[in-house]
Structure 1
């Protein structure tokens, strides 16, 4: 018969795995969670932001970036016009063909969104095998970058067509990112070092009474 502690750990593990899977599909299938100016124009997903940087910096092969974009492109193509996008024209679909000539100032002004997108994509991929804190860290960075621009007005945006917008799906991303973090309270308490018991000094009054 399962003990309450083991059943609690199993329930927590299931919640963590489900949250990691939901976060994975939310990122990989490119469900819009924000709208922010980027080197490719207007980016709606962390993968779009990440891909524009990877293509511009030539860190990863173009085929690897296309493989990252293709699952979401297929879903978007089937939902919009019921067609599967072409592998050869994938970069033009995301406005990434001339990304190297685009100005990097837009992304440099939003470093939190850029760094958070990297962590979110990496966390979604790694989280399927081993859920961790990378997704949570990336989501919080994106959220802070969007809040900073929306509330504090940094950087200043005078173009109404490039207004930053947060979709309701951001709430799902935040909840899944936090729920995917596995934390064992009992293990943490067991691994914490025991506090040493303070002993009175030999010259103290307590030592003399002994």
Structure 2
């Protein structure tokens, strides 16, 4: 039973990690939250805008991160695929301010969560870990705090802070990418099934 649970945990974890990676790298909209470029909808947008402003990494690295999502959006909208030089202009990154920003300081949960989500997406393809789940939970915490206590503009749809339904898929895939937790769930379900069968057989004997 132990070897079987390991096998299924490995398969489920691998598939979940791949789903999570695709959600993040292809920039499937997960939320709507204020950032340096206006309103960000993905961890990649939040992370890229901060990386460009802080100039921690070369622009070429940021363009590589942005390119899969830009291509996916162009295909989905049936528009021309942006060139390498147009990647930043299509994402509204050109006129963005440099250096520290009050937006980053006020919304540290979403910023840190976006970093963890992006890093976890790549690391999850190599080995199982909790970084992805920790990242999405930080983002959810930041969005919930902004909705409950922040000054957002619910009457303006373009500036509304919210989470999309796709965030549930991100949370589930991040959770099931943790191989150890998946294995515990499989073991627990098997034990419950065995107990149920034993009770059922005893009831028949009576």
TM bucket normalised to smaller: 0.7 to 0.9
The equivalent position to 2:35 in structure 1, one of 34, 38, 42, is 38
What residue is the counterpart of 2:132 in the other structure? 135
What secondary structure, in the 3-state scheme, does the structure 1 residue paired with 2:179 have?
A: coil
| Correspondences of 1:102-121 after superposition (within 5 Å) | 104-121=101-118
Contact 2:54 2:99 in 1 (8 A): no
Match of 1:157 among 152, 159, 163: 152
The aligned runs of 1:11-50 (5 Å cut-off) are 11-50=8-47
Offset at residue 135 of structure 1 (A): 0.3
Return the match for 2:70 from 73, 84, 90.
Answer: 73
TM-score after normalising by structure 1:
0.81
Counterpart contact for 2:37–2:49, Cα < 8 Å: yes
Q: Give the structure with the higher percent helix.
A: 2
Deviation for aligned residue 1:74? 0.4
Query: Any runs of at least 4 consecutive aligned residues in structure 1 with deviations exceeding 6 A, and if so which?
Result: none
1:163 to partner: Cα distance: 1.5
Match of 1:87 among 84, 89, 99: 84
Q: How much has 1:104 moved relative to structure 2?
A: 1.5
Q: Using structure 2 for the length normalisation, give the TM-score.
A: 0.83
Give the Å deviation of 1:100.
2.7
Alpha-carbon RMSD: 1.7
> How far, CA to CA, are the matches of 1:80 and 1:42 in structure 2?
19
Query: Can you give the 5+ residue segments of structure 1 that lack an aligned partner in the other structure?
Result: 187-210
Deviations along 1:35-64, whole A, 9 cap, x unmatched?
A: 111001110100000000000000011000
Conserved? CA contact 1:77–1:85, under 8 Å: yes
Partners of 2:116 and 2:86 in 1: how far apart?
27
How far apart, in 2, do the equivalents of 1:26 and 1:89 lie? 23
Q: Give 1 or 2 for the bigger CA radius of gyration.
A: 1
The residue number in structure 2 matching 1:203 is none
Q: How many residues align?
A: 181
Offset of residue 153 of structure 1: 2.0
Q: Deviations over 1:77-104 (max 9, x none)?
A: 1111342111101101111112235871
* Selected match of 1:7 from 4, 9, 18: 4
Cα deviation code 1:155-192 (max 9, x no counterpart): x2247342201100000000011111121779xxxxxx
